[in-house]
Amino acid sequence: MTNPFLFTDEHEEFRLSVRGLAESRFSGTYLEKAKSDKYPSDELRQLGDAGITGLLVDVGDGGQGADALTLGIAVEEMSHANLTVGYLVFGSTVACHVVAQHASPEAKGKWLPGLLAGDSVSALALTEPESGSDAAAMRTTASRVDRGWILNGEKTSVTAVVHADVIIVFAKTDQSAGARGVTAFLVDANDPTVTSHPFDDPGNKPLGRGSVVFDGTFVPDDHMLGALGDGFRIVMHEFDLTRTLIGLILTGGAQKALDMTAEYVTQRHAFGQQISRFQGVSFPIAEHTTYVEALRMLSYRSLGLRVAGRPHSREAAMVKWWGPEVAFNAIKDCIVLHGHVAYSDELPLQSMLRDVSAYFIGDGTPQIQKLVIARDVLGRDAVGS
């Protein structure tokens, strides 16, 4: 069985090559682009050209057939160079993986090549104005018609929806079946019955977040993802992956802030010496380095368990509630250790703080993660809902 806790030589070689790509292509542009709401189309295409978007897709479908640990390495290294590109790796690889795994041959043929090339942008629409954590309470419906389905409803808080070409949409196909009545569909975002509206967010501006309305949108049968009523199972299985990958976005971003700060405090002088000689400066760096390393290890352990085919919902939820705190606190202290220059957009730290704060909520709040862990530790009946 695959050892779930160690990298192979291949993984280490991949880390070096993806680090080279991340540093040479993306590391210098983060701050300038983070201020704009222009979608990073060029960066997405470069990820497509490098084969990153298709890491989890089988070779037969045009991908790399790599494992989740390899993807985790790509997410960490790209996020260290550029948090926006780190998200692109995360979002594009998961979308390609979901389409390759669950779409019909017709829908795959239509959408997968563009997604793999980085020419097409995807979004995943689950949250609604009246339901977020309680996603099964969604109101969007898909009603049966000849040769397909008609979608009606509104999704909100959807990353990249205003830039999307294709949207993975979850809708109720059976109102009486609870979570088992939810089905996933691939929807053409350029259909005239689909309208999206952008939000004005404090961080992750280039990605764009917004709401989207489906007003009698026809979706052909061959654009259903998985089987009827399978939508919730698909999303829950992907959550274990996405929540873990978010831990590695946060690891990469926090490590970058610590690396910048280590350089700064050894150069800056106060009271006649390098400020790194004050323990009030060096100890926070030591503490955050410890937390970030622990987050990194927990994230890779979760991915290792996935690769080995073992359950990892508990580990993924641990990463997801704790990771944002680790990264946010590390970047916040890095700002303090830089003094006044960090309270500006001259350095990327303020932008990084705003970007990582998105991950407290996106993909599930800390409370929901702790419910997942508590149910696993104590049993569902002992914890309740």
Ligand X SMILES: Cc1cc2nc3c(=O)[nH]c(=O)nc-3n(C[C@H](O)[C@H](O)[C@H](O)COP(=O)(O)OP(=O)(O)OC[C@H]3O[C@@H](n4cnc5c(N)ncnc54)[C@H](O)[C@@H]3O)c2cc1C
Query: Should residue 367 be labelled a site residue for ligand X when binding is judged by CB under 6 A?
Result: yes
Closest approach of ligand X to the CB of residue 231, in Å: 12
Smaller CB distance to ligand X: residue 150 or 374?
Answer: 374
Q: What are phi and psi of 143, to 5 degrees?
A: -105, 140
What residues form DSSP beta bridges with 105? none
Which residue in 214, 72, 194 sits closest to 151, CA to CA?
Answer: 214
The C-alpha atoms of residue 228 and residue 250 are separated, in whole angstroms, by: 35
Candidates 20-28, 120-128, 292-300, 333-341; binding stretch for ligand X (CB under 6 A): 120-128
Interacting residue with ligand X among 303, 362, 372, 375 (CB under 6 A): 362
The dihedral built from the CA positions of residue 317, 323, 325 and 328, taken in this order, carries a sign that is: negative
Q: Which two tokens stand for residue 300?
A: 């890779």
Interacting residue with ligand X among 21, 117, 228, 368 (CB under 6 A): 368
What residues form DSSP beta bridges with 187? 167
Query: Should residue 208 be labelled a site residue for ligand X when binding is judged by CB under 6 A?
Result: no
Closest approach of ligand X to the CB of residue 167, in Å: 10
Interacting residue with ligand X among 18, 94, 96, 158 (CB under 6 A): 158
The C-alpha atoms of residue 245 and residue 251 are separated, in whole angstroms, by: 10
* Sequence-separated (6 or more) residues with CB below 8 Å from residue 316: 239, 240, 241, 243, 244, 302
Query: Should residue 354 be labelled a site residue for ligand X when binding is judged by CB under 6 A?
Result: no
Closest approach of ligand X to the CB of residue 320, in Å: 11
Q: Which two tokens stand for residue 165?
A: 């070409």
Range 123-152, binding ligand X (CB under 6 A): 124-127, 132-133
- The stretches of the chain forming alpha helices (DSSP H) are 9-26, 30-34, 41-49, 68-81, 83-102, 105-117, 231-267, 279-307, 313-338, 349-357, 366-378, 380-383
Candidates 39-47, 182-190, 280-288, 366-374; binding stretch for ligand X (CB under 6 A): 366-374
Smaller CB distance to ligand X: residue 124 or 187?
Answer: 124
On whether the CB atoms of residues 100 and 61 are closer than 8 A, the answer is: yes
Candidates 10-18, 92-100, 214-222, 361-369; binding stretch for ligand X (CB under 6 A): 361-369
Report the SS3 class of residue 169: strand
Which residue in 109, 175, 189 sits closest to 136, CA to CA?
Answer: 175
Amino acid at 80: H
Query: Should residue 292 be labelled a site residue for ligand X when binding is judged by CB under 6 A?
Result: no
Candidates 16-24, 157-165, 263-271, 309-317; binding stretch for ligand X (CB under 6 A): 157-165
Candidates 15-23, 256-264, 347-355, 357-365; binding stretch for ligand X (CB under 6 A): 357-365
Closest approach of ligand X to the CB of residue 130, in Å: 8
The C-alpha atoms of residue 94 and residue 88 are separated, in whole angstroms, by: 10
Q: Which two tokens stand for residue 120?
A: 């097409």
Query: Should residue 364 be labelled a site residue for ligand X when binding is judged by CB under 6 A?
Result: yes
Query: Should residue 179 be labelled a site residue for ligand X when binding is judged by CB under 6 A?
Result: no
Smaller CB distance to ligand X: residue 72 or 364?
Answer: 364
Number of residues lying near ligand X (CB under 6 A) = 19
Query: Should residue 183 be labelled a site residue for ligand X when binding is judged by CB under 6 A?
Result: no
Interacting residue with ligand X among 157, 261, 299, 302 (CB under 6 A): 157
Query: Should residue 209 be labelled a site residue for ligand X when binding is judged by CB under 6 A?
Result: yes
The pairing of strands 141-145 and 148-159 is antiparallel
Query: Should residue 159 be labelled a site residue for ligand X when binding is judged by CB under 6 A?
Result: yes
The pairing of strands 166-172 and 122-125 is parallel
Using CB under 6 A, list all residues that contact ligand X. 124-127, 132-133, 157-159, 209, 358, 361-365, 367-368, 371
